[in-house]
Amino acid sequence: MAKIADLSRSAVTSDSRQPSTLLSVDHGHVEINFEGKVAVVTGGSKGVGLEAARQLASSGAQVVIGSRTVTEELAQLRDEMGVLAVRVDLSKAEGPARLIATAETERGGVDVLLNNVGASEPGPTLADIDDAAWQRVFDTTFFSAVRASRAVIPSMVARGGGSIVNVSSINAKLPDPAIAHYSAAKAALSNLTKSTAIELAPHRVRVNAISPGPIRTPFWTSANGFAAIVADAAGTTPQEVIDEVVPQRMGILTGRFSLPQEVAALAVFLASEVAANVTGADYVIDGGALKTV
């Protein structure tokens, strides 16, 4: 491993296509380092966004989190690790641009953008999901990423490059009638990832996506979460839905939901220069639920 690392370091030249720092290898240990970088996370008050913010800050990044509320967990992270929490409604047209502008003003620019915020309003059938619900889900899940990415491009280009990671979903390829609007929004986000990766490559801005399967977050576990809805329909308990019903019905090979910190770690990896030659990719983390090639 040391020899490979030495070769990698020697290959870094003045070529603008090469990363400024590749990775740190110490006795086989690969270290992700965000020292001197500014990272913006949308929807970071809980779940994957909160965990990603924690990991980014632990790796040296100055982290700016945008969310509608400052949860107890986010307040603790702010106090312990110095992250900047910005109250903002990212579903509104002006929200994402205001978040990016705040990061630029308070931290000097943006190197990493994690488009994590999303929303779903499950309905039993397509007929139950009205136009307003479609608009809310698309505004939060898709257009927030469009607007944040659009706002951050000038900063990243001016700083010589950057990384955008979009949190999509296996529902982009595995539609669920109960969340047709959410599945469609995630499919649009996956497509956006590919197109922006092509567009921004000349500017050394990488764009990737991650597509999680079910994650053990409040979306599933809260009192009014999706597990409770499925439990009512299946005549069982929310806990059994999470532990048995969903893993079995979806064919999750590992037999369990992903944990927020596992999904966050994949996003942080893609944002880092350890993945410096990865762009336009969509990484699935679903315990083996998606079987297509």
Active site residue 283: no
Q: Where are the domains of the chain?
A: 1-31, 36-213+261-285, 216-257
d(CA 78, CA 102): 16
From the candidates 182, 219, 257, 269, which is the catalytic residue?
182
In DSSP notation, 14-54 reads S-TTS-S---EEETTEEE---TT-EEEEES-SSHHHHHHHH
Query: Where is 111: in which H helix or E strand?
Result: none
Chain segment 59-114, per-residue pLDDT in tens = 999 999 999 999 999 999 999 999 999 999 999 999 999 999 999 999 999 999 99
Q: How many CA atoms lie within 13 A of 16 on its CB side?
A: 9
Chain segment 173-187, per-residue pLDDT in tens = 998 888 899 999 999
User: What tokens appear for 180 in the block?
Assistant: 């047709």
Return the pLDDT at 4: 32
267 CB-near residues (< 8 Å, 6+ apart): 48, 52, 114, 116, 165, 167, 210
Q: Which residues pair with 67 in a beta bridge?
A: 87
- E strands present in the chain: 24-26, 29-31, 38-42, 62-67, 84-87, 112-115, 162-167, 205-212, 282-285
CATH no. of 36-213+261-285: 3.40.50.720
**With contact defined as beta carbons under 8 Å apart, do 257 and 226 qualify?**
no
Strand, helix or coil at 173?
coil
Chain segment 211-264, per-residue pLDDT in tens = 999 999 988 999 988 899 889 988 999 999 999 999 999 999 999 999 999 999
Return the pLDDT at 26: 56
Report the predicted TM-score, pTM, of the whole model to 2 decimal places. Answer: 0.89
